[in-house]
Structure 1
Amino acid sequence: MSDIAIETEGLTKQFGGFYAVQGVNLKVRRHSIHALIGPNGAGKSTCFNLITKFLTPSAGTIRLEGKDITHVKPAALARRGMVRSFQISSVFPHLTCRENVRVALQRQMKNSYQFWTPESVLNALNDEVDAILQSVGLFDMRDTLAVELSYGRKRLLELATTLALKPDVLLFDEPMAGMSTGDIQRVVDLIRTAAEGRTVLMVEHNMGVVADLCDTITVLQRGQVLAEGSYEEVSKNPEVIAAYMGGHA
């Protein structure tokens, strides 16, 4: 078995005469944490949405564990073990924190698609739900409606529901956006823990997080790969400094 979990070849997305992503070749090693970074308009989110099948490529190939997923639908991709988060919180606003996580955990039950499941059956998941909520710091808010949470807490709840799906491959779209310093450190610790035995690909602007967390960094500029390597390597690359890093190198 190859040690590459996600691979793209010639990945391209064209909008009219504009190439948002052009000829991107990417290899994400299994059980690593890999970041996509770049200045605004570099094509990070487009590339991310192509890989997770929320956009259709104009050209190129996408593989998951060596299998072509270029034309696989997002729901089918999730069933194959690849789950993503979004920049905008995607939790159910009028369910409690516990209910949100429990919905995700129902996937492992044989009756996961039965809408009229007795609550006594669902309550059997509560211990696991509460453990997940404890891990993201939301246990004390388990009976709070998601709509009543702050933005940062909603992001933590979304992370909890993502982890509850027990994916093999996790993709995070700016997981630290809008979070307080304390919440950022909590999420960094959670991602590091969640990455044990899993593959993580993330888009992230917080360079401190990227430096601390990621094994490999791919830098995009104008839809193309500018550089790739460890944080130490890319942060010293003159082209990266000119395009993105500024005084952070």
Structure 2
Amino acid sequence: MTGYVIETRNLTKSFKGFTAVDDVSLQVAEGTIHALIGPNGAGKSTMFNLITKFLQPSSGTILLNGENITKRKPAEIARMGAVRSFQISSVFPHLTLLENIRVALQRKMHNSYHFWKSEKGLDVLNDEARSILATVGLDDAERNLATELPYGRKRLLELATTLALEPQVMLLDEPMAGMGTGDVQRVADIIRRVAEGRTVLMVEHNLSVVADLSDTITVLQRGAVLAEGTYDEVSRNPEVISAYMGAAHHD
């Protein structure tokens, strides 16, 4: 074992001659919150899609807990404990919040989809589902349909369904995208709380969130690693200031 939960070695992804990820070696230590940042076009989303297996690399290796997952499928790595959150359509809009969490809890039970059973047969999952909803502050809305939720609370439901799978590793894809200031702080506080005892890798544009939450930050530029370290370290790096911070201040 290397001591790293997620590791990439010389990871490269090219699209018709354009190199989106260029020889990236990334190491995410157990029990840390690790952020992947960079200006638009830096390769963050491509890198995240490679690690979560929604894309196959052109070359290089991806390891999860020391096991080579380069050829694995997304569902396989989810079963291995690495769960990607905040994906489009990751909740069922016309089920209640409680029902959404129960579906996720059934998934964790492996091949235990009991859709043909009466609803009362799933009541054994209610206490656990309610506990998860309370963790993200949605216990007041368990009977609401997911489609009725405002955007920020819908993202919290997505986080709750991820927690129901008891992931060892949470992969968060721009968890604050499109949120107002109040929602951003609420979600950041919940991520910090649920990250205890877990490893988190997140792509995030909001620099104040990154500064607040992250133990380690990797800065990408043009598909390659520009800098890595704590927020204080990378925010003082002249190359980062030029490539990322300066661009952010001028947006």
Partner of 2:27: helix, strand, or coil?
strand
Matched ranges for 1:141-156 at <5 A = 141-156=141-156
- In the superposition, the TM-score normalised over structure 2's length comes to 0.94
CA contact (8 A) 1:87 1:175 kept: no
Deviation at 1:87, TM superposition (A): 5.2
How far did 1:114 drift? Answer: 3.6
Distance 1:104 1:45 in 2: 25
Match of residue 234 from structure 2: 234
Alpha-carbon RMSD: 1.5
Once the two structures are overlaid, the 10-residue window that deviates more, 74-83 or 239-248, is 239-248
Matches of residues 82-93 of structure 1 in structure 2 within 5 Å? 82-86=82-86, 88-93=88-93
Structure 1 residue runs without a partner (length 5+): none
Query: d(CA) in 2 for partners of 1:179 and 1:81?
Result: 28
Distance 1:228 1:129 in 2: 38
| Aligned counterpart, 1:221 | 221
Report the counterpart of residue 21 of structure 1 in structure 2. Answer: 21
How far apart are 1:182 and its partner, in Å? Answer: 2.3
**1:5 lines up with 2:24 in the alignment:** no
SS at match of 1:76: helix
Residue aligning to 1:135 = 135
Offset from partner CA, 1:53-102 (integer Å, 9 cap, x none): 00011111000000000000111111000000235352111111111111
Structure-1-length-normalised TM-score: 0.95
Sequence identity percentage:
71
CA distance in 1, matches of 2:46, 2:35: 14
Cα pair 1:89 1:154 within 8 Å, conserved: no
**Per-residue displacement from partner, 1:196-236 (whole Å, max 9, x unpaired)?**
11110000011111101000000000000000000000000
Q: Which moved more, 1:192-201 or 1:166-175?
A: 192-201
Which amino acid is the alignment partner of residue 7 of structure 1? E
Counterpart in the other structure of 2:203: 203
Opposite residue 13 of structure 1, the aligned amino acid is K
Q: How far apart, CA to CA, are the structure 2 residues paired with 1:131 and 1:212?
A: 26
Say whether 1:94 aligns with 2:100.
no
What corresponds to 1:76 in structure 2? Answer: 76
Amino acid at match of 1:100: N
Deviation at 1:171, TM superposition (A): 0.3
Size of the aligned set, in residue pairs, is: 248
Once residues 117 and 3 of structure 2 are traced to their aligned partners in structure 1, the CA distance between those partners, rounded to angstroms, is 40
Q: Structure 2: 5+ residue runs without aligned partners?
A: none
Q: Which whole-Å CA distance do the structure 1 matches of 2:168 and 2:26 have between them? A: 18
Shift of 1:111: 5.8
> What is the aligned partner in structure 2 of residue 116 from structure 1?
116
